[in-house]
Chains A and B, each alone.
Chain A
Amino acid sequence: MQWTDEGIVLGVKRHGETSSILELMTREHGRHLGLVRGGAGRMLRPVLQAGNLVNAVWRARLDQHLGQFVIEGLNLRVGAMLTQSHAVYGVTHLAALCRLLPERDPHPAIVPMVEAILDHMSDVAIVGALTAQFELHLLTELGFGLELDCCALTGAREELIYVSPKSGRAVSRTAGEPWRDRLLRLPPFLTEEDAADPSMRDIADGFALTGYFLLRRVLEPRGAGFAEARDSFIATLIARAPTE
């Protein structure tokens, strides 16, 4: 068995004294693990950092085997991010999110989305919105997508500003007014392609929405919770945002 693919490094575990077990989010082969001979060495350690884009050749005798990766760095962007707190929290958070996907299950949309987030990591205003959109998309990839195209109560397609925490369906302004305190806010940038630039409040609302459903529908059934990196990422984004 052999294939070649590009992937984003999610994490690496030392295996023995010289090798590593690498976890990659690949374009066509999903989240995939493999052994990297010499992965703990000086040459490969800078390449095998979470967030870097690499070219990977995977070989194994049988498909079920762990297999071995031969890795070549393509975009080693993480070295420049280490001094920015929101960037390292963001990379850690994105890796944790990708780890929710089942192993070896192709999710072709994931790598381009993660790439876009990592490429815009220095732009605080954009990266928050992109990450919230990624979390929303991840819910869909995991089979827990929200229905945000029409109002659950009236069927209206305009002024959808709430989401029901029970059903995960959108609710319009007029229909949701009596229960506004119990509904989650739906910021326009999560549903409208031509929405105006989101404010930090919109981004915080977006994270509150996606965080609620990720926690209830994905993490809690697995007995897990969010890592500290998500809260720290959102907090540093808000702290670094330009004052509106």
Chain B
Amino acid sequence: MPAAVAGPEIERLIQLLARLPGLGPRSARRAALFLIKKRELIMAPLAAAVQTALEKIEICGTCGNVDTQNPCTVCRDVNRDPSMIVAVADVADLWALERAHAVNARYHVLGGTLSPLDGVGPQDLTIDALVSRAHDPAVKEVILALNATVDGQTTAHYITDLLHGANVTVTRLAHGVPVGGELDYLDEGTLSAAIRQRTAI
């Protein structure tokens, strides 16, 4: 095992940076060196921003989004269509849809998908809260924007079954050829789904 080349505080910083997604031990070392070199310009504001975010982060009591206020910015936005709820598995999916400006609706973060392999059951997700929100007379449509995986679609069908009693239209995202996708390189499952769900031009 190589001897430590820096004090325990710096080694600890490198260890923690290495846990971030996209960073391994080498890139964490580079990032730590960069922070040390730019102590005043980057490191101090970054530390302050992390501390502030840590103190202020809240999970929205309505939709499960992450924000610094509760209800979150999305739920407070009066310009969003209150008749539509987009159900997503994770906050990352909510952010992806917002980046795409794909829909101007309210959201509901489930907190994952049903997965027997990982021991995730309905009680581990916020499905009950979604069903409760869907029973609001103002809600007319629930869009299930879940992954096109077996777990994602099992969750979608499970929620659809639970929403039978609610007076809402339940829709899901289309499955098929991605933008820029070449048919020759697509897997058979995607091609089969795309053919089944073809639309008239």
In whole angstroms, how far apart are the Cα atoms of A95 and B178 in the complex? 28
Q: Is B148 in the interface zone, CB < 8 Å from A?
A: yes
Q: Could you say which of A55-63, A80-88, A123-131, A185-193 contacts chain B?
A: A80-88
Kindly list chain B residues whose C-beta atoms are within 8 Å of the C-beta of A235.
161
Q: Is the CB of B192 within 8 A of A232?
A: no
Q: Is the CB of A46 within 8 A of B190?
A: yes
Q: Could you say which of A70-78, A135-143, A166-174 contacts chain B?
A: A70-78
Q: Give 23 pairs: A residue, B residue, CB < 8 Å, sorted on A.
A: A11-B115, A17-B21, A45-B149, A46-B189, A49-B149, A73-B188, A76-B192, A78-B150, A78-B189, A79-B187, A79-B188, A80-B189, A80-B193, A82-B150, A82-B175, A82-B193, A83-B153, A83-B175, A83-B197, A89-B154, A92-B150, A95-B117, A227-B121
Q: Is A23 in the interface zone, CB < 8 Å from B?
A: yes
> Which A residues contact B (CB, under 8 angstroms)?
10-13, 17, 23, 45-47, 49-52, 73, 75-80, 82-83, 85, 88-89, 91-92, 95-96, 99, 227-229, 232, 235-236
Taking CB atoms and an 8 Å cut-off, the chain B residues in 142-169 that contact chain A are 148-151, 153-154, 157-158, 160-161
Q: Is the CB of B187 within 8 A of A232?
A: no
Q: Is the CB of B117 within 8 A of A13?
A: yes
Kindly list chain B residues whose C-beta atoms are within 8 Å of the C-beta of A49.
149-150, 189
Shortest beta-carbon distance from A148 to chain B in Å: 29
Shortest beta-carbon distance from B115 to chain A in Å: 8
Kindly list chain A residues whose C-beta atoms are within 8 Å of the C-beta of B190.
46, 79
Contacting residue for A99 out of B114, B116, B121, CB 8 A = B116
Contacting residue for B158 out of A13, A75, A80, A232, CB 8 A = A232
Contacting residue for B154 out of A10, A83, A88, CB 8 A = A88
Cβ-closest chain B residue relative to A47? B187
Interface centre among B122, B193, B197 (most CB of A within 10 A): B193
In whole angstroms, how far apart are the Cα atoms of A17 and B27 in the complex? 15
Q: Is B7 in the interface zone, CB < 8 Å from A?
A: no
Known contacts A23-B117, A46-B190, A228-B122, A83 near B196 by CB under 8 Å: yes
Chain B contact residues: over half helix, strand or loop, or mixed?
helix
Kindly list chain A residues whose C-beta atoms are within 8 Å of the C-beta of B196.
80, 83
In whole angstroms, how far apart are the Cα atoms of A232 and B161 in the complex? 9
In whole angstroms, how far apart are the Cα atoms of A30 and B164 in the complex? 40
Instruction: Using A17-B22, A46-B190, A76-B188 as known contacts, list a sample of 4 further A-B pairs with CB atoms less than 8 Å apart, ordered by residue number in A.
Output: A46-B189, A79-B148, A82-B150, A227-B121
Contacting residue for A88 out of B115, B153, B188, B192, CB 8 A = B153
Kindly list chain B residues whose C-beta atoms are within 8 Å of the C-beta of A89.
154, 157
Shortest beta-carbon distance from A98 to chain B in Å: 11
Known contacts A49-B149, A49-B150, A85 near B187 by CB under 8 Å: no
Kindly list chain A residues whose C-beta atoms are within 8 Å of the C-beta of B151.
50, 92
Kindly list chain A residues whose C-beta atoms are within 8 Å of the C-beta of B193.
79-80, 82-83
Shortest beta-carbon distance from A51 to chain B in Å: 7
Cβ-closest chain B residue relative to A75? B188
Q: Is the CB of A92 within 8 A of B189?
A: no
Contacting residue for A51 out of B117, B118, B150, CB 8 A = B150
